[in-house]
Amino acid sequence: MDVLWADRDTLPLDDRGLAYGDGLFETIRVQGAEPLLAARHVQRLIGDAHRLAIPVEEATIQSVMRQAVQRYGRSPGADWVLKLMLTRGSGGRGYRLPAHPTPRLIVSAHEAPPIPPREGVAVALASDPLPQEFATAGMKSLNRLPQVLASQGLEGDLWEHLMTDGDGGMLEGTRTNLLARWGDQWLTPPVASLAVAGVARSVAIDWLEREGAALREVSVPVSAIDDDRFQGLLLMNSVTGAVVVTRLGSQSLPCREPVWALRDAINHRMGLNG
């Protein structure tokens, strides 16, 4: 594997990640020198690399992460973001896979975004539905154009755009997964319908299953927010944690106690104060 350090090295122009989005990435919040949810990030990266037939070993990724923390680590209490981009490496013009690829791992460090406000956030619906890519469903690939386009217009107090399935079902945000409280159960869209199956989503699902909570993997209709059984909506990712949605478009949303409690539980398990 070819490892590039963003503060020192140059990316070859024939890299397939640059040319075709042929690769994956992980963004990991680090507290000082402690990567949060590191094992889950590594497992997802390795699993998705196998789906794309990009040869990579878990031990290699773990070794590079240790080097990255030593290289970029901050003082205790100072949060930052470690980004790993894994590509298939260099290749000629055309989509056909190289016979013997040499994967490339690009490593960079970034300032951590602020944790969302505890009192919740306002969101709106994206203007276009999320394209369904069944072969790469749930995969954090470098192909993120739908999310780039859906992020247009995010300004002021608007924290996120929610992407739908085209039939009125909410699927995920541009950078977040979602959980809705409906009656005495939780709803979250299935992985097969998602662009990214997030690490924070897996933390939330594991916690709910351990608590014996009722959970259904189904799309969440936008119309559900008008039903008395709708108790609230959570968004989450592994960098900013979980946040309660208090407004969708011009409509205020209910935020019942179980929603706030799950928000706190997720952030606690992620190592965030959220």
Provide the token pair at 238: 């592994």
The beta-strand segments (E) located in 138-264 are 158-164, 169-173, 177-182, 185-188, 214-217, 220-221, 230-237, 241-248, 251-252
Active site residue 140: yes
Q: What is the Cα–Cα distance from 68 to 48, expressed in whole angstroms?
A: 21
Burial class (CB in 10 A: 0-12, 13-18, 19+), 145: exposed
Q: What is the Cα–Cα distance from 239 to 112, expressed in whole angstroms?
A: 8
Q: Which of 172, 176, 188, 246 is catalytic?
A: 172
Provide the token pair at 213: 């909570």
Which residues 6+ apart lie within 8 Å of 3 measured at CB?
A: 64, 104, 105, 107
Q: Which of 140, 188, 240, 246 is catalytic?
A: 140
Active site residue 172: yes
Active site residue 27: yes
Q: Which of 131, 125, 120 is nearest to 259 (CA)?
A: 120
Provide the token pair at 54: 């990009």
Q: Tell me which residues are annotated as active site.
A: 27, 140, 172
